[in-house]
Copies of this chain bind each other. A is one copy, B any other.
Amino acid sequence: MAKSIKEIAQELNVSKSTVSLVINHKAEQARISKELERRVLDYVEKVGYKPNSLAKSLATGRSNTIGLIVENIGDSFFGPFALHVEELLRKKNYHVLYSSTLGDPQNAQDIIDFMLEKKVEGILLAPTVNLEEHQRKILENKVPLVVFDRNSPEVATHYVHIDNGDSSRKACLHLQSIGCKNFGLITIDSDQPQMLARKNAYLQFCEETGMQARILQLPYNRLRQKGIAALRSWVSKNVDLDGLFFTTNYLCILGLKSLRSEGGEHFNFPLFSFDDHELFDILNPKISCIQQPLEPLAKTCVKVLLKEIDSGITSPKEYVISTNLIKR
C-alpha cells in the first residue's frame, strides 16, 4: 500500500537519490532540473507518499521525539502539565513519548531504557527515588536531560522546579495571618527532596515562632481508605489543632474526604494545600493553596531541553519558578 522511495524511483525511471533529494527540498543544491523536480513532486503527491520515519530516523539519527516521564499522567498536576508540554513541542515539530512511573523506580528504569532504545532526542523527567544511576546512563548516552519537580542531588542535571521551602514558608505565614496558632502538617512518608523541603520549612517556622510541630506522615502506597482513617484518628487525638497544611493536593483531598465524612462536622478549621485543584475554590470553606504555575514550568522545561538539543549538552543549571499564594 504505502510506497517507498525505491518504488517511486523505479516507476519514474530515476534514481532513489533523486527522489530523496527532491522530497527533502534539496533539488536546488543538487542541481536537479525544475522539470524533473516537478515530475517527482507531482508523482509523490499523487501516490500519497509518506516517509517511514523509522528508516528516516535511523539514517539521520534524529527521531523528532522527546520523552516525558512523570509520576502519574492521570493526576491533576502531571496531566495538565503534560498537555502544556505537548502543545509547546508540537509547535517545534517534536512529539512526545509519555510514561508514568507511579513512583516505582523499577518502572522508571524500564521506561528510561525503552526511551533510550527509541532514540528520543531528549528526556524530561520527574525522577523517582533511586534513579541516579539511570540518570547518569541517560547523560552517558549523550541524550539531553532536564529534571523537574524534584531531583536527585547526587547527579548533576538541569533542574526546573519551584522553591519548595520558600513556598511552604509562605503557606505557614498565611495560616498564621488568618489566625491559626496550632496548625499541623500532613505529608507523605517519603524522602523525596521536595517533600522534605516542604516539611523542613514548616519545622523551621515552628522553631521561629515557638509553635509546637505536629506532623503526620502517611505511607505513599496506602492512601485510600486506610489513609482516611489514619488521618481522622490523628486529628481527633490532637485536639488543639486549628488548621491543617497538606503538602500535596491529593493529600488535601484525602483530608477533605476524611474530615467531611459523617460525624466530622466539628473539624471546622482552615485547610491549606500545596498545589491547587480545580474544585478548591467552590468548596466550603474555600481552600487556600500554593499554586505551581504549570505553564511557566512547562515552558521553562521545554525551552531548556530544546536548547540542549540544539547546541549540545551544557553544564547543569537550576531554574526556579516562583509560586503563587492563592488566598480564598
Contact = CB atoms under 8 A, between A and B. Distances in A.
Given A83-B72, A140-B1, A142-B1, A52 B119 contact: yes
Contact of A1 (B1, B114, B141): B141
Interface residues of A, number: 51
B282 A256 contact: yes
The SS class assigned to the A binding surface is mixed
Interface in A4-40: none
A257 B282 contact: yes
A281 interface: yes
Interface string A109-147: 000011011110000000000000000000011100000
Nearest to A83: B74
A327 interface: no
Contacts of A282: 253, 256-257, 260, 283
A50 to B, nearest CB: 6
Number of copies: 2
B284 A284 contact: yes
A323 interface: no
A112 to B, nearest CB: 11
Contact of A86 (B73, B83, B86, B257): B73
B281 A257 contact: yes
Nearest to A117: B53
A166 B176 CA distance: 52
Nearest to A97: B97
A63 interface: yes
A97 B79 CA distance: 15
A187 to B, nearest CB: 20
Interface string A280-315: 011110000000000000000000000000000000
Given A79-B74, A282-B256, A58 B50 contact: no
A74 B63 contact: no
A73 B76 contact: no
A219 interface: no
A57 interface: yes
A277 interface: yes
5 contacts: A52-B117, A54-B58, A95-B118, A96-B98, A284-B284
